[in-house]
Structure 1
């Protein structure tokens, strides 16, 4: 299938008339995201705490997260579909489907089926939908805001996602001790359903392209075209590799290691567990909302310094799990742990928005869904590996957790040195 090549500059000029009415549509999309992400974050929080309490084992918890993340490799297919179909309609379909899955889980838990295997299956289905959903949202942003506001728009969307990580643990920790797990799942069902209804009122510019052959053949050809485009653009494929490295080494630190340390090592209460996760999410929100300030200072050439900063911030987390610190009680280990985890969360948010915004600026709309999906898929493919790695390390070095954290720190230093060389010749906007 041949497609007429249009220069990105000309394509952006052609889109200018479509961007004018976008603020209202962007606001509606953000509101829908608020509700949907709150439901999703509450669901993940409730299930993660439920699994930890049911099993009491960090390795099972990490394995469940890793296995349920495998469908995220379907992201490129979601991106290819987002470039072929109306993105508003796709978001509506995905949220309605998520609400249906959440209702099924609610019904089964209500009937007393507490199988960990069942929970893993449900989380896997929701991960598949997320893999299709996320590139659709990311590819819609440049069509709903002016080019000079892309970083700010990405910051808002990222802040909304992080806000769910803040409010859901706080709300979840308050409700978890008073409401059965099935009631919390029902709240998530309502959230997904309301989000889908809100999205029905969004208008996203869409021009249906021609398709030669059946849909499967067209999608495969589109995917091939997307991978070729990514490979030809150095700043994109290097961004992909960096995103994968961060998701393998740093993200599991926040989603596996810190929760396991709080719950299993420090024996934190539901309130402290929720507070810790909430503060980490709040740091993501702060990073996202201040992206405009930091993007003036962040360049490809100095990304390695930010990575070195991340490695240094792991040291307080190492200190928090030392036996001498743990012997002081719960408060000091918690404060020391958060002194590292909070700024790490903030820096990860800033780096993610920086990379995504750069890619969105330079990618034509016809390729945007596929390119964003490839980046997300690469990052998400590395996430299960990181989760399994952390789970195994935490289980193996149960009484000496500072050792695996030191190992991760050294790996991150190595990645920063590679980034220094790899991004040295990248031309900025």
Structure 2
């Protein structure tokens, strides 16, 4: 009887865990797709009614820049408030806001300023949603399922990058913009409805580490907002392996955005004038590579520790960027369109694999070793640092590419990143990081 009871209990537990994974995946997919489709369609609409590239760019800035300033506060909120309230509330408020925009558009018209405001508000809600749902993962599933749920998250994010613009273009062509806003609002209500039924305490464990943490100040001071914001930074700075991880993330994000994201489109579109379809396929290689990498990441993590994997990826990434520079050097004139298609799509696929194999295990690492009461802030610190590095790298690369050949950016990016690797992995902190095993990354069973 006891055996039967235990078996039944495990079956119920497994059912609830799988239900959590399904509801999480469905809610996140709807929410991310809604944001991606909306951003793309609104961008097209602004270009059509204004004909201004500045207006289009301003909308993109309003979609990305607020995340930099809001991330730290979203981390505090995610750690202090019931994550269910933040996740469900963010999507519900997004849906409610879009319905209000639809009503206002019907009465006063769909102005540029109204679209700017809608983009800003949606970005704010999306930031709170993303931090809360990321920091909730350890509570949704058992430790041995963290790799699976993080892999699914990466697949969903990559699909939204691919499907969002395509769907946005189709919807923009078929529907009136006001009707589209209403439909998008309803989709956020659906996401909130699904997320409401997730068990956010399935694997909830009370944290005692904070009380023992040497960085914790005198009683009472932790209620102040400034300390809550600072606590996430202090936690990372006091742990060498997490700090080493941040160094690598900063270097990799700078490399991608400085040496690939700007110079590759410039080379293909401005220097070589490749067919737009071929350029689109090349760009699509990155999210497709992310999906493939997410599907394979568990097998990779079972064979090699994350620290050693990251070291190998870092050295290979320098060589990978160097490969982008070979065709301009080898070919005396513009290479054939099919060569460009196959060669650069393959390189972008590899880049997608790298992104998944770096990001997914890093997320699992943070979710396993960071106390739940701090996880939201630690995640927001990581995202904030990346958000600072990305625009710096893009602006610097954009300035240089107007003065010099994209080839210079490929070569300099490869050299700089290789020099970083030689310095970091021979430094004391780098050596300590390499000795970290997968003990905190993998469960015993799937």
> Normalising by structure 1, what TM-score?
0.78
2:260–2:410 Cα contact (<8 Å) kept: no
Instruction: State the distance in 1 between where 2:372 and 2:265 align.
Output: 39
Give yes or no for the alignment of 1:152 onto 2:159.
no
Deviation at 1:169, TM superposition (A): 3.7
Instruction: State the distance in 2 between where 1:264 and 1:113 align.
Output: 33
Instruction: State the distance in 2 between where 1:183 and 1:328 align.
Output: 45
Deviation at 1:162, TM superposition (A): 1.1
Instruction: State the distance in 1 between where 2:275 and 2:118 align.
Output: 27
2:32–2:157 Cα contact (<8 Å) kept: yes
Give yes or no for the alignment of 1:380 onto 2:355.
no
Match of 1:230 in 2: 236
Mapping of residues 264-413 of structure 1, within 5 Å: 271-272=277-278, 274-296=280-302, 297-319=304-326, 327-328=334-335, 330-397=337-404, 400-413=405-418
Match of 2:22 in 1: 27
Give yes or no for the alignment of 1:414 onto 2:419.
yes
Instruction: State the distance in 2 between where 1:403 and 1:290 align.
Output: 34
Match of 1:199 in 2: 195
Deviation at 1:120, TM superposition (A): 6.3
C-alpha deviations, 1:205-239, integer Å up to 9, x for none? 27999xx989x944433333332222221111221
1:142–1:360 Cα contact (<8 Å) kept: yes
Instruction: State the distance in 2 between where 1:104 and 1:228 align.
Output: 41
1:166–1:280 Cα contact (<8 Å) kept: no
Greater Cα shift, 355-364 or 316-325: 316-325
Greater Cα shift, 361-370 or 179-188: 179-188
Instruction: State the distance in 2 between where 1:326 and 1:169 align.
Output: 33
Q: Which has the higher contact order (CA 8 A, sep 6+)?
A: 1
Instruction: State the distance in 2 between where 1:192 and 1:141 align.
Output: 20
Mapping of residues 240-279 of structure 1, within 5 Å: 240-251=246-257, 256-258=262-264, 271-272=277-278, 274-279=280-285
Ranges in structure 1 where 5+ consecutive residues have no aligned partner: 1-15
Q: Secondary structure at the match of 1:396?
A: coil
Ranges in structure 2 where 5+ consecutive residues have no aligned partner: 1-9, 208-218, 440-446
Greater Cα shift, 267-276 or 382-391: 267-276
C-alpha deviations, 1:359-413, integer Å up to 9, x for none? 211112222222222222222222222222233233334xx22222222222222
Give yes or no for the alignment of 1:40 onto 2:40.
no
Instruction: State the distance in 1 between where 2:44 and 2:321 align.
Output: 24
Deviation at 1:326, TM superposition (A): 7.3
Aligned length: 404
1:251–1:383 Cα contact (<8 Å) kept: yes
Considering only CA atoms, is the larger Rg found in Structure 1 or Structure 2?
2
Mapping of residues 113-262 of structure 1, within 5 Å: 113=111, 123-172=119-168, 188-205=184-201, 217-251=223-257, 256-258=262-264
Q: Secondary structure at the match of 1:424?
A: helix
Instruction: State the distance in 1 between where 2:329 and 2:131 align.
Output: 41
Q: Secondary structure at the match of 2:395?
A: helix
Pairing partner for 1:424 from 431, 437, 440:
431
Q: Secondary structure at the match of 1:425?
A: helix
1:169–1:275 Cα contact (<8 Å) kept: no
Mapping of residues 63-74 of structure 1, within 5 Å: 65=60, 68-73=63-68, 74=70
Deviation at 1:299, TM superposition (A): 3.0
Pairing partner for 2:71 from 69, 75, 93:
75
Q: What RMSD, in angstroms, separates the aligned Cα atoms of the two structures? A: 3.9
Deviation at 1:310, TM superposition (A): 1.7
> Normalising by structure 2, what TM-score?
0.76
Instruction: State the distance in 2 between where 1:336 and 1:50 align.
Output: 34
Q: Secondary structure at the match of 1:202?
A: coil
Deviation at 1:95, TM superposition (A): 1.7
Instruction: State the distance in 1 between where 2:327 and 2:45 align.
Output: 25
Greater Cα shift, 226-235 or 280-289: 226-235
Deviation at 1:187, TM superposition (A): 5.5
Q: Secondary structure at the match of 1:250?
A: helix
